[in-house]
């Protein structure tokens, strides 16, 4: 099912970073936090300061994979009037203003509610690269396979430290763009150290012939970026950027992204 590899926007972004002698930096920010325009500005600031891929999260009432910081932000976005359809405007604004590939991260029910085909068509129309789906496993994704093929969207599935070799192989096969390696058994949130499990998860996905594997959960500092860049194809940062947006607004998101991107330089790879 790995059709149109070349058409994958997020794969292209990871490969551009690789060609530049570094790894991809992927920045997560919630849609509509603290409001729609600021979330657009923050994503643009991240893209202009070194993020190769922007991950726009759809605020959801029951975010079981998220820790306290992202929960608080998405709850506020909902309270401030965010609607799911706003995400297409945000994706369009960021893709127009930057070269970054823009993925949407969403729990599955908002997509189901709109209709998987409708959602996919509108996302593709907005210039989006595809979806990261934290509570959709390939086993349940028949509708999403059909819609993502129809509209040429990336399917970023997750692999975890607990995934068996069989499940890693099945998930790698189902994925288009890159495989999201969950670094730790837990929810999103900044942690002092990157889990030692992360490298093994990446190795398992690479062993299953995944061309691109990026690591997320618990990544918040340039030294984490440096550490992960040694074995993975990309690094995903979420909570730290959300906290920066909360505490310092858009400039803080730009500054932190630049600092995190500096983590690649420390590997000596240059920019």
Residues known to be catalytic: 55, 66
Distance CA(6)–CA(42), nearest Å, equals 29
CB of 155 to other proteins, least distance (A): 13
Q: Decide whether 99 or 140 has the Cβ nearer to other proteins.
A: 140
The residue ranges that bind other proteins (CB under 8 A) are: 60-65, 67, 71, 75, 78, 83-84, 108-114, 134-137, 139-140, 157-164, 167, 171, 182, 185-187
CB of 16 to other proteins, least distance (A): 27
Distance CA(115)–CA(188), nearest Å, equals 27
Phi, psi for 219 (deg, rounded to 5): -95, 120
Q: Decide whether 7 or 64 has the Cβ nearer to other proteins.
A: 64
- Residue 247, phi-psi category: left (phi > 0), alpha (psi -120 to 50), beta (remainder): alpha
Distance in Å from the first CA to the final CA of the chain: 34
CB of 230 to other proteins, least distance (A): 24
Q: Decide whether 178 or 264 has the Cβ nearer to other proteins.
A: 178
Q: Decide whether 64 or 209 has the Cβ nearer to other proteins.
A: 64
What number of other Cβ atoms are within 10 A of residue 196's Cβ? Answer: 10
Distance CA(271)–CA(269), nearest Å, equals 7
CB of 269 to other proteins, least distance (A): 30
* Residue 165: closest CA among 198, 207, 134: 207
């Amino acid at each position: 099912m790995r059709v149109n590899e070349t058409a994958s926007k997020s794969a292209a972004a990871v490969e551009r970073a690789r060609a530049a002698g570094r790894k991809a930096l992927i920045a997560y920010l919630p849609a509509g936090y603290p409001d729609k325009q600021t979330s657009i500005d923050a994503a643009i600031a991240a893209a202009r300061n070194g993020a190769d891929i922007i991950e726009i999260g759809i605020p959801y009432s029951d975010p079981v994979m998220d820790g306290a910081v992202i929960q608080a932000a998405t709850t506020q976005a909902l309270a401030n009037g965010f609607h799911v359809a706003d995400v297409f405007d945000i994706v369009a604004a960021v893709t127009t203003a930057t070269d970054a590939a823009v993925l949407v991260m969403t729990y599955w029910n908002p997509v189901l509610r709109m209709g998987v085909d409708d959602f996919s068509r509108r996302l593709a129309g907005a210039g989006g690269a595809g979806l990261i789906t934290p509570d959709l496993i390939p086993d349940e994704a028949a509708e999403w396979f059909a819609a993502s093929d129809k509209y040429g969207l990336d399917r970023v599935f997750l692999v975890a430290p607990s995934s068996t070799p069989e499940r890693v192989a099945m998930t790698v096969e189902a994925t288009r763009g890159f495989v999201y390696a969950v670094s730790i058994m837990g929810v999103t949130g900044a942690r002092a150290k990157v889990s030692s499990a992360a490298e093994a998860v990446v190795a398992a996905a690479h062993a299953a012939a995944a061309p691109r594997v990026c690591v997320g959960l618990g990544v918040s500092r340039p030294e984490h970026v440096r550490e992960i860049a040694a074995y993975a194809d990309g690094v995903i940062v979420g909570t730290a950027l959300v906290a920066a947006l909360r505490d310092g607004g858009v400039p803080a998101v730009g500054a932190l992204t630049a600092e995190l991107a500096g983590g690649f330089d420390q590997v000596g790879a240059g920019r």
